[in-house]
């Protein structure tokens, strides 16, 4: 599985709204595998397809509890709010304080095309929101209350 190039802030694909996936085929499953490999190689906790140059609604996340693969993810419920520090593989060396929902529920498809629901709080909730923002063309630096180099 190849490690893909991670696009950096300023690349126009990171500002696009990603297209929904109509058909889960071998290419989509391979892309999920390659995205996971790329995320682990870069020591990230999440990666969205636009970050590797593909404007599709695909996300991989691992906050230490195993890989989560989401196809066409949508946040369907949320509660509370909290401010926390975020970074991004597409904005290396920059960190910022971002206000997010404290808990979210995301509905998506898995690689088999089955509808799944993920409930997340803490780091998982933050990662789910951060990665789904990528699918809308939003980078955390646009939402951050403060930014600093790390």
The per-residue pLDDT for range 38-57, each reduced to its tens digit, is 999 999 999 999 999 999 99
First to last CA, the chain: 30
Q: What is the pLDDT of residue 2?
A: 86
Identified catalytic residue from 16, 37, 97, 131: 131
CA distance 139 to 136: 9
Which domains are seen in the chain, by residue range? 12-149 (3.90.45.10)
Tens of pLDDT, residue by residue over 68-83, are 999 999 999 999 999 9
Active site residue 107: no
pTM equals: 0.97
Q: What is the pLDDT of residue 150?
A: 82
Residues in the chain predicted with pLDDT less than 70, given as ranges, are 1
Binding positions for Fe cation = 88, 130, 134
């Amino acid at each position: 599985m190849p490690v893909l190039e991670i696009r950096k802030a300023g690349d126009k694909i990171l500002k696009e709204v990603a297209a929904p996936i109509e058909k889960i085929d071998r290419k989509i499953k391979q892309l999920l595998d390659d995205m996971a490999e790329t995320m682990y190689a870069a020591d990230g906790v999440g990666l969205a397809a636009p970050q590797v140059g593909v404007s599709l609604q695909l996300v991989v996340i691992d906050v230490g509890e195993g890989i989560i693969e989401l196809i066409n993810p949508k946040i369907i419920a949320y509660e509370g709010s909290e401010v926390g520090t975020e970074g991004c593989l597409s904005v290396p060396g920059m960190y910022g304080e971002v206000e997010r929902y404290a808990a979210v529920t995301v509905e998506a498809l898995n690689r088999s095309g089955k509808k799944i629901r993920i409930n997340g709080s803490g780091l998982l909730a933050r990662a789910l929101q951060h990665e789904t923002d990528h699918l809308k063309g939003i980078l955390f630096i646009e939402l951050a209350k403060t930014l600093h180099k790390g």
